[in-house]
Structure 1
């Protein structure tokens, strides 16, 4: 019987990679995120073609608890329950703290942190009833260390690690594990789009920007791939990872070892 996996923010980037990884193993997928209808439909078809499971798209806005609750309820009603919840939705804004727009702070905390509380709160009763479940929170190296001008993002990702530990303790005797993945830099479309402008501004080649600017923090000088993150998520969702709970796993090319 196919497992059911909910992945927030999965219409592109890391979230889509995770969804595709699980789809390739035959899982049913609940896809969520923003995008043009035709792009979402194309991504949905790509997931359907990747495996034998079914794919449901839900347009829940991660700033709206009632829409999040409806997404979880719809997933449970459609597939009979949720086996794996992957909290991936996230946004970024960079500015000095004294200039950081209040609305950006509120939006980042809502999407990057509070949405995970809302999805977990809604999904836990069903997982407890089944006596089994996996909750995987996509944090960041910034859940462990800071960078200037990213106050909201860093605060939210540190919060995700605290949430992960707390919920893991609450669910430890219910067959539900809760863990966080802390990736370093991943070459997502969002990151790729920034490279040409950065190269022009700094009078560097695009390859120099990758190695000397973006990957300066990562000793391996290599990007983490979405496939690597997806593989780790699949492991954390497996029975082999049953005794891994309440912790984070860094996948950052050695960034946080420094």
Structure 2
């Protein structure tokens, strides 16, 4: 098992990409904390993992609330005697042209995607630094960490920002054996994307199927969505990597939508 005796905190872990990462990590021997705004869903995912014979806890966490983050991390440390891996995955989507974005929506998007990454990182790092084992921070970026799309100004801005944050954490954490990297998925069939399809079609004046074919998957090599399993395997690769050789990097997982 690649993550035996490791403890992982996964934000937004009750569904979608976060849930599949949690299940994958548990299968590989990790103790997993599912942090989510929806406490019942977090508990349900944790129960599913426990039913498989692995260790898991579900905790309520609003990643934009400093106290909630600090209390949640403290609860994980108490349950598992430390945190070895942080997966900063919580996110939402709001789409408008820039001129129609309210300032409140802009701030909400940056708070969840970027402030949440900062707050959870800041809360976890002292435990990683003091453990003597090092640690691993993984941010859930996007192809939009590398390029822009219509209607997504705050999302693109936040996802670009995660790459900068990861590079700083990689430099500051190196002396303590802490690595930081970013996974940049293409379009993944999650509840977030399911909600996005029809709204984007309405805004662009095209059908949902045209959004999928001519917008989302147009630049892929095979017209296929990236899967949650694909992203979970990338997270496992980063989390299990044995040295500081792989840090400060971003990995695009997008069926060739974006190549670098």
Query: Which residue in 1 is equivalent to 2:68?
Result: 67
2:85 is the alignment partner of 1:84: yes
Q: Give deviations 1:163-220, integer Å, cap 9, x for gaps.
A: 000110011121111000001100113323555787897457x4x6533332123233
Query: Which residue in 2 is equivalent to 1:45?
Result: 47
Structure 1 gaps, min length 5: none
Query: Which residue in 1 is equivalent to 2:259?
Result: 257
Q: Structure 1 stretch 168-177 or stretch 234-243: which is displaced more? A: 234-243
RMSD: 2.2
Q: Is the 8 A contact 2:66 2:119 kept in 1?
A: yes
Q: Structure 1 stretch 124-133 or stretch 40-49: which is displaced more? A: 40-49
Q: Give deviations 1:91-149, integer Å, cap 9, x for gaps.
A: 11111112101111111111100111111111111111123101111100101101122
Relative distance call for 1:40 and 1:82 in structure 2 (3 A) is closer
Relative distance call for 1:162 and 1:195 in structure 2 (3 A) is closer
Q: Which residue among 128, 146, 169 is the counterpart of 1:144? A: 146
Query: Which residue in 2 is equivalent to 1:96?
Result: 97
Structure 2 gaps, min length 5: none
Q: Which residue among 17, 32, 36 is the counterpart of 2:35? A: 32
Relative distance call for 1:195 and 1:160 in structure 2 (3 A) is closer
TM-score by length of 1: 0.90
Query: Which residue in 2 is equivalent to 1:179?
Result: 181
Aligned counterparts of 1:230 and 1:58: Cα–Cα separation in 2:
21
TM-score by length of 2: 0.90
Kindly state the Cα deviation for residue 27 of structure 1 after the two structures are TM-superposed.
1.4
Query: Which residue in 1 is equivalent to 2:17?
Result: 14
Query: Which residue in 2 is equivalent to 1:158?
Result: 160
Q: Structure 1 stretch 156-165 or stretch 19-28: which is displaced more? A: 19-28
Relative distance call for 1:169 and 1:58 in structure 2 (3 A) is same
Kindly state the Cα deviation for residue 257 of structure 1 after the two structures are TM-superposed.
2.2
Relative distance call for 1:128 and 1:203 in structure 2 (3 A) is closer
Aligned counterparts of 1:196 and 1:170: Cα–Cα separation in 2:
42
Aligned counterparts of 1:164 and 1:220: Cα–Cα separation in 2:
30
Q: Give deviations 1:15-40, integer Å, cap 9, x for gaps.
A: 11111111112211110113373x44
Query: Which residue in 2 is equivalent to 1:236?
Result: 238
Kindly state the Cα deviation for residue 162 of structure 1 after the two structures are TM-superposed.
0.3
Aligned counterparts of 2:125 and 2:158: Cα–Cα separation in 1:
21
Q: Is the 8 A contact 2:64 2:119 kept in 1?
A: no
